[in-house]
Amino acid sequence: ETTPPIATREHTVEGFVREFLRELNFGQGVDLTRASVNDKYLAMARTVRHYLMTRWLSTLRSQAKLQAKSVAYLSAEFLLGRQLDNALLASGLEDIVKEGLASLGIDLEELRQAEIEPGLGNGGLGRLAACFIDSLATMNVPSIGYGIRYEYGIFKQTFVDGWQVEKPDDWLRLGSPWEFPHPEAAVKVGFGGHVEQYQDDDGVVKRRWVPGWSVLGVPYNYMVPGYDAGRVNTLRLWSARATRAFDLEIFNSGDYAEAVRAQTFAENISKVLYPEDSTPQGKELRLQQQYFFVACSIKDFVDQVLPADFDLHKLPDRIVFQLNDTHPVIAVPELMRVLVDEKGWEWDEAWAVTKQCFAYTCHTLLPEALEVWPVELLGRLLPRHLEIIYRINDEFLAELRVAYPNDELRVRRMSIIAEYPVRAVRMAYLATVAGTKVNGVAELHSQLLRDKVLDDFAAYWPDKFTNVTNGVTPRRFVKLSNPGLSGLITEAIGDGWVTDLDQLKGLEPLADDAEFRRRFREIKYANKQRLAGVLAERDNIVVNPDTLFDVMVKRLHEYKRQTLKLLHIVSLYEKITTGELAIGDVTPRTFAFGAKAAPGYVMAKQIIGLINAVGRTINDDPALEGRLRVAFPANYNVTLAETLIPAADLSEQISLAGKEASGTGNMKFMLNGALTIGTDDGANVEIRQLVGDENFFLFGLTEPQVAEVVERGYHPSAYYETNLDLRNALDLIASGAFSGGDRAVFEPIVSNLLNEDRFLALADFQAYVDAQARVDAAYADTDDWTRRAVLNVARGGFFSSDRSMRDYIERIWHTYPVAPEA
Q: Applying CB under 6 A, does 660 fall inside the site for ligand 26W?
A: yes
User: How many CA atoms does the CB half-sphere of 218 hold within 13 Å?
Assistant: 19
- The residue within the footprint of ligand 26W, chosen from 363, 450, 561, 787 (CB under 6 A), is 363
Out of 82, 156, 363, 528, pick the active-site residue: 363
Beta carbons within 8 Å of 95's beta carbon, 6+ residues apart: none
- The residue within the footprint of ligand 26W, chosen from 316, 663, 673, 700 (CB under 6 A), is 663
Stretch that binds ligand 26W, among 272-280, 332-340, 504-512, 784-792 (CB under 6 A): 272-280
Q: Applying CB under 6 A, does 128 fall inside the site for ligand 26W?
A: yes
Q: For residues 439 and 761, what is the distance between their CA atoms, to the nearest angstrom?
A: 29
Q: Which is nearer to ligand 26W, 130 or 769 (CB)?
A: 130
Strand pairing report for 78-79 and 119-120: antiparallel
Query: Bridge partners of 44?
Result: none
Q: Which is nearer to ligand 26W, 499 or 664 (CB)?
A: 664
Reply yes or no on whether 668 is catalytic.
yes
Cis peptide before 421 (omega within 30 of 0): yes
Q: For residues 135 and 127, what is the distance between their CA atoms, to the nearest angstrom?
A: 13
Angle of CA points 427, 430, 435, to nearest 5° = 120
Q: Applying CB under 6 A, does 800 fall inside the site for ligand 26W?
A: no
Q: Which is nearer to ligand 26W, 39 or 277 (CB)?
A: 277
Q: Which is nearer to ligand 26W, 63 or 666 (CB)?
A: 666
Q: Which is nearer to ligand 26W, 426 or 787 (CB)?
A: 426
Out of 664, 676, 679, 786, pick the active-site residue: 664
- On whether the CB atoms of residues 677 and 772 are closer than 8 A, the answer is yes
Centroid of chain to Cα 698: 25
For the chain, the distance separating the N- and C-terminal CA atoms, rounded to the nearest angstrom, is 18
Q: Applying CB under 6 A, does 662 fall inside the site for ligand 26W?
A: yes
Q: For residues 305 and 628, what is the distance between their CA atoms, to the nearest angstrom?
A: 57
- On whether the CB atoms of residues 97 and 45 are closer than 8 A, the answer is no
* Closest distance of CB 322 from ligand 26W, Å: 13
- On whether the CB atoms of residues 471 and 799 are closer than 8 A, the answer is yes
Q: What is the DSSP letter of 653?
A: E
Q: Applying CB under 6 A, does 716 fall inside the site for ligand 26W?
A: no
Reply yes or no on whether 560 is catalytic.
yes
Stretch that binds ligand 26W, among 66-74, 362-370, 485-493, 496-504 (CB under 6 A): 362-370
Q: Which is nearer to ligand 26W, 179 or 660 (CB)?
A: 660
Q: Applying CB under 6 A, does 470 fall inside the site for ligand 26W?
A: yes
- The residue within the footprint of ligand 26W, chosen from 100, 118, 119, 123 (CB under 6 A), is 123
- The residue within the footprint of ligand 26W, chosen from 364, 469, 739, 792 (CB under 6 A), is 364
Q: Which residue is nearest to ligand 26W (CB)?
A: 124
* Amino acid of residue 276: E
* Closest distance of CB 199 from ligand 26W, Å: 42
Q: Applying CB under 6 A, does 444 fall inside the site for ligand 26W?
A: no
Interface of this chain with ligand 26W, residues 665 to 704, rule: CB under 6 A? 682
Beta carbons within 8 Å of 63's beta carbon, 6+ residues apart: 70, 142, 818
* Closest distance of CB 595 from ligand 26W, Å: 13
Q: Which is nearer to ligand 26W, 280 or 736 (CB)?
A: 280
Out of 318, 668, 787, 788, pick the active-site residue: 668
Reply yes or no on whether 452 is catalytic.
no
Q: Convert 480-545 into a string of H (helix), E (strand) and C (coil).
A: HCCHHHHHHHHHHHCCHHHCCHHHHHHHHHHHHCHHHHHHHHHHHHHHHHHHHHHHHHHHCCCCCC
Q: Which is nearer to ligand 26W, 472 or 760 (CB)?
A: 472
Beta carbons within 8 Å of 335's beta carbon, 6+ residues apart: 298, 321, 350, 354, 357
Reply yes or no on whether 555 is catalytic.
yes
Q: Applying CB under 6 A, does 471 fall inside the site for ligand 26W?
A: no
> What residues line the site for ligand 26W (CB under 6 A)?
123-125, 128, 276-278, 280, 325, 363-364, 369, 371, 441, 470, 660-664, 682
